Amino acid sequence: MIVRHILCHHAQLIAHPVGDGNALELNSWGTAMMDCGGDARAIQVLHSAAARGMSEFLLTHLHFDHYSGISRQPPGTKLPFDVDQLFLPALPLIKDHSLTENFALTLFTMNKILGGKSGIPEQDLIDGFTSLNPTSTSPSHAFLSKGDSFDLAGIPFQVLWPPRVASDLVATSAKNAIDVFEKAIENNEQAKEIRERLRDQAAQAARRAVQRADEHDDRSADASQEEDSTDNEEFIDGALEIPETLINANRAIRRVANRLSLAFRCGTRLIHLGDLERAELNQVVTDLGPAKEFFGMIAAHHGTHFSSKMNRLRALHLVVSNGSRRPNLQAGYRKIARFIQETNVHGHSFLVF
C-alpha cells in the first residue's frame, strides 16, 4: 500500500458530456466514477465505466444533476458492474443536534417528494446500483469530511471540504431552508406523513454528525463572507408536478447542499472543487495556504462559481463540466488556468495527471 503511494503513477480523468449535470470518470489502478449526471445519459456513462471495471462511486453532493441518472433508467436496464464502495460527503454538525436533525429531515423529505425511493441519499444510491445489477453485492459506504484521506481508483486524495462543524453561514441557510420548506408543506398532509416516516433516519444522521464533530474538534473560523452568485439552479429532468412553493424550498435546501459539497485534492496534481459556493471556496483556498499551483483543476459548480481568493491559485489544465443551460465560465478561471476544456464546447474532456 505505502509503496504504491510513493511511486507516482498516472491517472486518466474523463469528463463525460452529460448536459448540465456532472459525470467524471477516473481511471488508474482501478476505475471510479465521481457523479454520473442526472438524466438518461448516465447509463451510457456508467456502461463505459463498467466496461473498464468500475468498482467505486463518489458523490460530490446531494444534487440530482449529479446522481439521479442512476434511478432514471427504463425498468429492466441492467449493467455489468459491481460497485463495492461508495463515498459521500458527511453531514456536518450544524450548530447543534436539533438543527442538524431538522435539516436532515427536511432534506430527506424533499428528496422523497422529488421521486427518491427512500429519500436517504446513501440508501437510494445503493438501491440504484443493486437494481442495475441484481447479482452484485450491496456496496459499503463511507462519509467523508475535511481532514480525511481516501483512495479512489488507486489514487490517494485528501478531503478539503465539508468541515465536521458547519459555519454560522450554513446554519443560517439551513434554518432558512427549513422555514421555507415548513411553510410550503403547511397544508400538505402527504408531505407531513413522509416526514414522519423519516424521523428515525434523520436522528441517526444527526447522531453521526455529533460523533464526527467530537472526534475531531476542528471548529474553524467561519467561512469568509462573499456575496454568492445567483446561479444555483438544479436542473431536474422528468415531468414531476411540483408546486412552486416546494420548488423554492428545494432551491433553498440545495443551496445548503452546495455549501456542504465535497472538495478534495491529490497533492498538487489535481484539485476538485465540487459545487461549492463562493464563501466556502474562499475558506478552502485560505486553508490551502499561500499561492498554489495545480496540474489539474475541476472548476467549481460547472464553472459558474469563482471566489476572489481563487486568484492566488494556478492550474495548468482546467476541466469544466457544463451544458447549454449554463455555458458561461466565470472570467476568473481564464486568468488562473492555462488550458481549458469544457464539456459544452469540446464534448468529452480528458486529462492525464
d(CA 309, CA 83): 37
Q: Are 129 and 122 in contact (CB under 8 A)?
A: no
Chain positions 27 to 56 lying near Zn ion, rule: CB under 5 A, are none
Give, in order, the Cα–Cα distances in Å from 269 to each of 303, 309, 350, 351.
19, 20, 14, 11
| Interacting span for Zn ion (CB under 5 A) from 135-143, 246-254, 275-283, 345-353 | 275-283
Indicate the residue among 65 and 101 with the shorter CB distance to Zn ion.
65
d(CA 73, CA 237): 12
d(CA 83, CA 81): 6
Radius of gyration in angstroms for the set of CA atoms belonging to the chain, rounded to a whole number: 19
d(CA 333, CA 338): 9
**Secondary structure class of 229 (helix, strand, coil):** coil
Indicate the residue among 19 and 119 with the shorter CB distance to Zn ion.
19
**What's the closest the beta carbon of residue 68 comes to Zn ion, in angstroms?**
11
**What's the closest the beta carbon of residue 60 comes to Zn ion, in angstroms?**
8
| Interacting span for Zn ion (CB under 5 A) from 92-100, 116-124, 182-190, 269-277 | 269-277
By CB under 5 A, residue 275 contacts Zn ion: yes
Which residue, among 211, 276, 207, has the nearest Cα to 60 in the 3D structure? 276
**What's the closest the beta carbon of residue 250 comes to Zn ion, in angstroms?**
14
| Interacting span for Zn ion (CB under 5 A) from 6-14, 77-85, 274-282, 323-331 | 274-282
**What's the closest the beta carbon of residue 275 comes to Zn ion, in angstroms?**
5
d(CA 351, CA 61): 22
| Interacting span for Zn ion (CB under 5 A) from 7-15, 160-168, 215-223, 271-279 | 271-279
| CB atoms closer than 10 angstroms to residue 156 | 13
Indicate the residue among 67 and 129 with the shorter CB distance to Zn ion.
67
| Interacting span for Zn ion (CB under 5 A) from 91-99, 201-209, 267-275, 312-320 | 267-275
Q: Are 353 and 11 in contact (CB under 8 A)?
A: yes
Chain positions 53 to 82 lying near Zn ion, rule: CB under 5 A, are 63, 65
**What's the closest the beta carbon of residue 20 comes to Zn ion, in angstroms?**
7
**What's the closest the beta carbon of residue 266 comes to Zn ion, in angstroms?**
21
Which residue, among 224, 341, 339, has the nearest Cα to 280 in the 3D structure? 224
Total site size for Zn ion, rule CB under 5 A: 3
**What's the closest the beta carbon of residue 66 comes to Zn ion, in angstroms?**
6
Buried-exposed string 55-76: b where 16+ CB fall within 10 A, e elsewhere:
bbbbbbbbbbbbbbbbbbbeee
Indicate the residue among 30 and 38 with the shorter CB distance to Zn ion.
38
d(CA 47, CA 78): 9
Indicate the residue among 39 and 151 with the shorter CB distance to Zn ion.
39
Indicate the residue among 228 and 275 with the shorter CB distance to Zn ion.
275
**What's the closest the beta carbon of residue 59 comes to Zn ion, in angstroms?**
11
Indicate the residue among 61 and 146 with the shorter CB distance to Zn ion.
61
**What's the closest the beta carbon of residue 325 comes to Zn ion, in angstroms?**
11
Q: What is the DSSP string of 54-112?
A: EEEEE--SS-HHHHGGGG-SPTT--------EEEEEPPPB-SSHHHHHHHHHHHHHHHH
x-or-dash string of contact with Zn ion, 107-146, rule CB under 5 A = ----------------------------------------
Cis peptide before 162 (omega within 30 of 0): yes
Indicate the residue among 71 and 131 with the shorter CB distance to Zn ion.
71
Indicate the residue among 39 and 65 with the shorter CB distance to Zn ion.
65
Name the site residues for Zn ion (rule: CB under 5 A): 63, 65, 275
